[in-house]
Structure 1
């Protein structure tokens, strides 16, 4: 399903690990050069600044080219029909396929921009069509379902992070619009259903990341985990539920029924994330929990003004500094898998013995690249082989 060469993807992940080991002082410059020469990958990627530049440039090129074509065809009135953005989306997709296949781009910025514009044209054209056929609220269900189909396909085909996030959001949007049609029961249970779906997304993405077929989608699954944890909290956050309830029922300022349940979720869920993240050494859950503590404080501050904002910020900052200092002092000696010292990524040596590869390269000039190393690596990007094939 994935468009990229799988052997090159394997080698690219190995190169990322070799660079991490080099930065940590485990590999010399010459060893790094030799290893990258052997585990060669033609997939093209760049640093973050280059990616952003190419991304913006590609968006400008797509905008100018589609605008020029639209002006040329303006007299035919084709552009006044919902079929026009659908045609542009299909054409954009074929360009995307050919560009990635011919130039081996993998998260270079160019392919990311083409993926976004393809999805934008297709979803926009479908939304225009549904608005023409049926302008009732029910067409939002069809649009969210179509968005889910497009984003899932592009995620599987190109392992794109943004499309993975869009898949999660479009699924929740579909549940949101469809569940409302159950009437009063649907409106009353909607927050809990969204929380249940978000929890299910997190659970299955956590399980799926261990599956061999998901090896090339580990970054996408990490995005799903982060986003599902956020939506799980937001679905039960008092402020979000209260404001959305008032908006849907057109009752501004009305108290939220059983509001204490959502206050409990608002305050305790971030703390639960932090506690479980520490217990299971899950950095994603730990960091999301720390982020959502700010959301809980903001929600409480919105409804209860205990102290002036300047005093509250000063006290909060002082407390955070004291806690940070205490944690740093405590973790000078690593405890329970946590430390303040900079470490290599924790999942690097789960299944792959890097030392054996280095020793083999030191004493042998032969060997083949592994077709499926079975190791799962974290974030980062690298491109190109770096050396000639004469090693």
Structure 2
């Protein structure tokens, strides 16, 4: 039992993918209509700008209602315990309202339901956590919050809740490790291990057909894990962390233990991500590799400046423009599975997914994409949702 109609979610993703084939002329309007009839999607549709506006409006409306009701009830109940139960009750009420919109109005990530879901989980979490002693370490509260947020992710597959769960987990690990005397030195290695493990887990289950309801959540988890990996192995980040964890901080951050090792990781990890991204045709790995190189060069410039910041910006901008222009011209003709053509012009996007091919063939007759190189690896194009160049 989940908040949204899982069949519609599956059909929505299938139609989005098959619509690319139609835009490329692989499906005529008649066959596309047949597929739409066989795989209906009843969700309420809106564009991104409207969704953002509805999200903000809904948050403001819920906040106004909450503070108005809390002010009125404070005259009757001036009790801390009451406020904990009030938060839980109000959160449940908001959750029921979200369920009503989802079931009767067929909302699906339309902005309003996202806001109500976030508000409901936040209020229930605050109410439950408030019932526990206020002198516990931070990681204790994180362990209480995490199951609640994960339950929300399981039921609603909300991306903001996924971000909150990831942040809660990292905060719990961060605070727990620092309780050890050697925690500051151990923390970067723990975070590197956690980020690598989470990425591997998300990559492993992302393309499973039975988990398509949470596919976007796994994709987001991959991006978050790669980001944490780059930060946790960066020399500047590790050095500054050690500096801010010191009881008596000197004027400048002192050199850290294993400085050479972290300098090596700062340079090697982006290269490793590029190698894996190139081999597997994975867009997230390539993008995070580029970001990692940017962080590595910025770190090197911070500790070993040769020119002014303005000079570096001009030189880097000029080199990036030249590099982008060269790649655009060079990849006009596909080379080794890479091309400058947009995703919409990639007719083999679904080549690796036997499930989608079989369902569209059953609905529209003999349909099969021409041969070619799939970018993204895996059934649904890898951890970039449509990630092929």
Q: TM-score category by the smaller chain?
A: 0.7 to 0.9
1:206 is displaced (CA, Å) by 0.6
| Secondary structure, aligned partner of 2:178 | helix
1:156 is displaced (CA, Å) by 0.9
1:265 is displaced (CA, Å) by 1.6
Question: Is the contact between residue 191 and residue 236 of structure 1 (CA under 8 Å) also seen in structure 2?
Answer: yes
Residue 111 of structure 2 corresponds to 109
For residues 241-260 of structure 1, the aligned pairs below 5 Å read 241-250=238-247, 251-252=249-250, 253=252, 254-260=254-260
Question: Is the contact between residue 239 and residue 256 of structure 2 (CA under 8 Å) also seen in structure 1?
Answer: yes
Query: In 2, Cα distance between the equivalents of 1:221 and 1:17?
Result: 18
Query: In 2, Cα distance between the equivalents of 1:27 and 1:192?
Result: 51
Question: Is the contact between residue 93 and residue 114 of structure 1 (CA under 8 Å) also seen in structure 2?
Answer: yes
Instruction: Tell which deviates more after alignment, 29-38 or 54-63.
Output: 29-38
Deviations 1:150-195 (A, max 9, x none): 22111111111111122222112111111222322x3321110111
Residue 388 of structure 1 corresponds to none
Residue 20 of structure 1 corresponds to 20
Q: 1:45 to 1:183 in 2, by over 3 A?
A: farther
| Secondary structure, aligned partner of 1:152 | helix
Give structure 2 stretches of 5+ with no counterpart: 368-377
Question: Is the contact between residue 10 and residue 212 of structure 2 (CA under 8 Å) also seen in structure 1?
Answer: no
Match of 1:154 among 147, 152, 155: 152
Normalised by the size of structure 2, how large is the TM-score? 0.85
Query: In 2, Cα distance between the equivalents of 1:375 and 1:200?
Result: 21
Query: In 2, Cα distance between the equivalents of 1:19 and 1:72?
Result: 52
Query: In 1, Cα distance between the equivalents of 2:145 and 2:25?
Result: 46
Residue 62 of structure 1 corresponds to 62
How many residue pairs get matched? 364
Residue 227 of structure 1 corresponds to 224
Question: Is the contact between residue 198 and residue 221 of structure 2 (CA under 8 Å) also seen in structure 1?
Answer: yes
1:205 and 2:206 equivalent? no
Give structure 1 stretches of 5+ with no counterpart: 363-373, 381-391
1:356 and 2:358 equivalent? no
| Secondary structure, aligned partner of 1:182 | coil
Q: 1:361 to 1:261 in 2, by over 3 A?
A: closer
Normalised by the size of structure 1, how large is the TM-score? 0.85
Q: 1:162 to 1:290 in 2, by over 3 A?
A: same
Deviations 1:86-113 (A, max 9, x none): 3322322222223222222111111111
Question: Is the contact between residue 123 and residue 143 of structure 1 (CA under 8 Å) also seen in structure 2?
Answer: no
For residues 1-391 of structure 1, the aligned pairs below 5 Å read 1-78=1-78, 80=80, 81-130=83-132, 133-135=133-135, 138=137, 140-184=138-182, 186-250=183-247, 251-252=249-250, 253=252, 254-344=254-344, 347-350=349-352, 351=354, 352-353=356-357, 356-357=361-362, 359-360=364-365, 376=380, 379=385
1:78 is displaced (CA, Å) by 4.7
Higher relative contact order (CA 8 A, sep 6+): 1
Deviations 1:15-41 (A, max 9, x none): 212332233333344544443233211
Superposition RMSD in Å? 2.5
Query: In 1, Cα distance between the equivalents of 2:49 and 2:365?
Result: 36
Residue 370 of structure 1 corresponds to none
Question: Is the contact between residue 157 and residue 217 of structure 2 (CA under 8 Å) also seen in structure 1?
Answer: yes
Q: 1:256 to 1:159 in 2, by over 3 A?
A: same
Query: In 2, Cα distance between the equivalents of 1:284 and 1:310?
Result: 30
